[in-house]
Amino acid sequence: MTAIDFEALLAEELAKSLGSSEQKSEKENGKEVVAKTANESLEHYLSENNEKTKQNKKAKKMKLSNDYKLKSPIGSTYYIRNYITPTEESDIMEKIMDSRVKNEWVQLKRRKLLCFGEKAKQSKGNEKKKESELAMAKWCELLIDKICNDSEIFDEHHRPNHILINNYEIGEGIMAHKDGPAYYPLVCILSLHSAITILFFQKPPVVRKSEDGHSLIQLKPNPVLQVILEPRSLFIFRDDLYHHYYHMILEADNDVIFDTCVNHNLTFPTFSVGDVLPRKQKRVSITIRHFYYQDTD
Ligand SMILES: O=C(O)CCC(=O)C(=O)O
């Protein structure tokens, strides 16, 4: 197995892409460049871009069915690399680590989570289910607008109204589960920071780890599907995969690439079966769904 220094290669790619986009805008504008800086707020970026997309009648919506569909043997899965920019990524991180939401995080055994939107409302007063009670933040609404403007994947009756943010430290994960009937069967996952893989199974697998708990020794059976989730990527799954398969993120310090991985040759760097993808820093995921709201009052 070859361990790949994923983070170093990624940093290199990022530096190159940032350099080239600055040059491009200088040439395009001809004169003075008003470069986007970290000072510009996330809301500003998102609303400006959403407005442009709306106004541009010729703008083609992302053809999810063709351009981003993974060759997955089960269900429909889509993977969009670099769905947000590095600046948007760090702005989102700032928002979710902000002192105003600091006390809203719920620490679970192997991850912590923060919840915005409808589910939070429904959970109010129900201690067992309590997640948090945050109304949808403006940046969340703008992110949802962006997804809805960019593609027709959500119809107007199932616009996302619920955002769940998971924070995984290195070695943390989420056990095999289905998201269940509380949601419309369509999930968008925006990943930030570290790359990991998401695994799908027909039944929850048997997992054996090394004594120190850091590495995987045995996984039985192998996943029916594995998708690498790079930082800033958007992953979408729906229908059959949603209803009939469990998904999980292993609690381990690294991920091994299985022969059922459907995007190992679409990432940067690319991977081969048996390669090891180390997790070098924490990962944050933003899961965007439509929650079927039922008033429990
Ligand atoms: O963190 C992820 O990418 C997956 C999250 C997840 O499975 C969930 O929130 O149900």
Under-50 pLDDT residues of the chain: 1-4, 6-7, 9-11, 13-39, 57-58, 127-130, 295-297
Question: Which secondary structure element, helix H or strand E, spans residue 99, and what is its range?
Answer: helix 99-102
Atom of ligand 1 nearest to the CA of 229: 3
Model pLDDT, residue 283: 97
209's CB contacts (< 8 A; 6+ apart) are 215, 216, 217, 251, 252
Asked if residue 50 is part of any domain, the answer here is no
Asked if residue 6 is part of any domain, the answer here is no
Model pLDDT, residue 61: 62
Model pLDDT, residue 121: 67
Which residue CA neighbors atom 9 of ligand 1 most closely? 287
State if residue 287 touches ligand 1 by the CB under 6 angstroms criterion.
yes
State if residue 247 touches ligand 1 by the CB under 6 angstroms criterion.
yes
Query: 180-212: b or e for each residue (b if 16 or more CB lie within 10 Å)?
Result: eeebbbbbbbbbbbbbbbbbbbeeebebebeee
CATH number at residue 169: 2.60.120.590
Atom of ligand 1 nearest to the CA of 168: 1
Please tell me the distance between residue 173's alpha carbon and the centre of ligand 1 in angstroms: 9
- Domain interval for residue 284: 70-289
Asked if residue 53 is part of any domain, the answer here is no
Place of tokens 């351009």: 67
Q: Are the C-beta atoms of 199 and 248 separated by less than 8 Å? A: yes
Cα 105 to chain centroid distance, Å, stands at 18
Please tell me the distance between residue 190's alpha carbon and the centre of ligand 1 in angstroms: 10
How many CB atoms neighbour CB 121 within 10 A? 19
Strand partners, 167: 112, 284
State if residue 174 touches ligand 1 by the CB under 6 angstroms criterion.
yes
Please tell me the distance between residue 36's alpha carbon and the centre of ligand 1 in angstroms: 31
Please tell me the distance between residue 285's alpha carbon and the centre of ligand 1 in angstroms: 7
Global pTM?
A: 0.81
State if residue 230 touches ligand 1 by the CB under 6 angstroms criterion.
no
Asked if residue 195 is part of any domain, the answer here is yes
Atom of ligand 1 nearest to the CA of 287: 9
Please tell me the distance between residue 177's alpha carbon and the centre of ligand 1 in angstroms: 9
Asked if residue 178 is part of any domain, the answer here is yes
Which residue CA neighbors atom 3 of ligand 1 most closely? 285
Please tell me the distance between residue 188's alpha carbon and the centre of ligand 1 in angstroms: 9
Q: How many domains does the chain have?
A: 1
Please tell me the distance between residue 35's alpha carbon and the centre of ligand 1 in angstroms: 34
Model pLDDT, residue 107: 92
Model pLDDT, residue 194: 95
Strand partners, 288: 163, 188
Model pLDDT, residue 125: 54
State if residue 279 touches ligand 1 by the CB under 6 angstroms criterion.
no
Please tell me the distance between residue 114's alpha carbon and the centre of ligand 1 in angstroms: 12
Model pLDDT, residue 123: 60
